[in-house]
Amino acid sequence: MMTFHREGRSIMLGSIVIFLGLSALNYYLLACSIFGLFLFLQVGFIVLLYLIIQFFRIPQRTCIGGPEDIICPADGKVVVIEEVEETEYFKDKRIQVSIFMSPLNVHANYYPMSGEVTYTKYHPGLFLVAWHPKSSTDNERSTCVVKHNNGTEVLFRQIAGALARRICYYAQVGDKAQAGAEFGFIKFGSRVDLFLPLGTKIDVQIGQKVQAKITKLGTLN
C-alpha cells in the first residue's frame, strides 16, 4: 500500500494543473500538424509529472529492530562511515554515518531509535550538492538529538542538497521519540547524517543501499 506525504499536496496539485494546461496547449498546437513532436512532448510531460508525484510517495512499512538497535532514518545509499569531530552539540569525536537520498528515493525521515528529544535546531544555509564535504556544515540543515533510555544520545541531521529548498522537521525538545516514527521530510535531493558514540557496532558499509525503518545501521553498546 502506498500513500503520499502531506508536504507534497500543493506541489502535486499545482503540477497536475500545469500538466493539464500544457497537455491541452500541446494538443491544440501540434496534434494535427506535427504529431511526432506532439507525442514526444506529451511523453515528456507525463514522465516529469510522474517524477514529481513519486517523490512524495510514502510506502507502508513496519519498523524492524530491537531496543538497542539504530534503525536507518532514510532511504538511500551510505556514502560516509568515519570518525569525526562533532562540533555543534557533543563537541567530541563520534562515528558519522551519512545516507545520500537521490530525487528518486523516498524523502520522509524517521527516528532511528526510541527515547526523548533533548535538542533541536534549524540552520539556514547554502545548497551545495549533498555529497560535498562542506554540506554538513554549510548547507541548510536541521539537527536533532535523541536520548536513549540507557542515557546514550544520538544526533542526526537533515541536510538540504542542490535541489532541495526546504527542510521540514517536526521534532521538539521534550517529545517522546519512537523508532520508525516520522520526524521530518526534505523536499528533493538531500542527505541525512547520524553521529553515533564511539564503539557503536556498525552493520552497514559504504555504497550499501538502505531502507528507512528496515535497515539496521548499528547497535548501541
**CA end-to-end span of the chain, whole Å?**
36
Whether the pLDDT of residue 147 is over 80: the answer is: yes
Q: Is 190 a catalytic residue?
A: yes
Average pLDDT value for residue range 10-30: 91
Domain 63-219 = CATH 2.70.70.10: yes
Whether the pLDDT of residue 164 is over 60: the answer is: no
Residues 105-146: tens digit of each pLDDT: 888 999 999 999 999 999 886 656 555 555 566 678 899 999
Of 114, 135, 136, 190, the catalytic one is 190
Domain boundaries, the chain: 2-58, 63-219
pTM: 0.84
The set of cell numbers assigned to 55 is: 517523490
Angstrom distance (rounded) from CA 74 to CA 102: 11
Angstrom distance (rounded) from CA 185 to CA 221: 29
Q: pLDDT > 70: what percent of the chain?
A: 90
Residues 43-72: tens digit of each pLDDT: 999 999 998 888 888 888 888 878 889 999
Name the pairing type of β-strands 2-4 and 57-59: antiparallel
Whether the pLDDT of residue 103 is over 90: the answer is: no
